[in-house]
Amino acid sequence: MNFILYLSQFIIPFLVLYIVGYGLLAKVPVYDSFIRGAREGLKTVLRLVPTMIGLMVAAGVLRASGFLDFFAAHLEGLASRLSFPAALVPLTVLRMFSSSAATGLLLDLYKQYGTDSRVGLIASLMMCCTETIFYTMSVYFMTAGIKKTRHTLCGALLATFAGIAASVMLAGRMG
């Protein structure tokens, strides 16, 4: 185990050295290429910042306003018929928009229900097998300049609900 830890300290520096060395051997102006790539990366970041800020603000407003709790209370009957804890409805909604906001909510669920509870197990599994749909779509499609998303949202929602169903089933078998 110590060997793997020792080796892992050298992987990134070795990778950088390999890339620079390969570039020099191929007679590529490495520093100029780096600067050009950094400039293009910065332009991409500047294009994405407004979208990211909008999504983060929306997730914060949803959480701070109490709307998610209100929404969960109204879906409690449906959730119980599906063997889905109503306490996870806010996490389900928030996860589609922001991973960091969902992680904060996940920690609150751990404090309230415990990590080994059914709610904690389902929440942990949900975080692993669902995606931040709207964040991912907005960032990737904006970066690539795609205007028509076609069936992406339907497919992503279907995959998310399949991940949620799998989380409930797996937590049922574990718990």
The answer to whether 123 and 106 are in contact (CB under 8 A) is: yes
- Residue 82's Cβ-side half-sphere holds a number of Cα atoms within 13 Å equal to 16
Residue 161 pLDDT exceeds 90:
yes
Residue 15 pLDDT exceeds 80:
yes
The answer to whether 91 and 105 are in contact (CB under 8 A) is: yes
Residue 169 is classified by DSSP as H
- How many percent of the chain have pLDDT more than 70? 98
Residue 39 pLDDT exceeds 90:
yes
Tell me the mean pLDDT in the region 91-105. Answer: 88
Domain boundaries, the chain: 49-174
Q: What is the pLDDT of residues 53-82, one digit of tens each?
A: 887 788 788 878 988 888 888 888 888 888
Residue 167 pLDDT exceeds 90:
yes
CA dihedral sign, ordered 119, 121, 126, 127: positive
**Position 131, amino acid:** E
**What tokens appear for 132 in the block?**
């931040």
The whole-angstrom separation of Cα 159 and Cα 146 is 21
Confidence of residue 175 (pLDDT cuts 50, 70, 90): low
Q: Tell me the angle at which helices 133-144 and 152-174 cross, rounded to the nearest 10 degrees.
A: 150
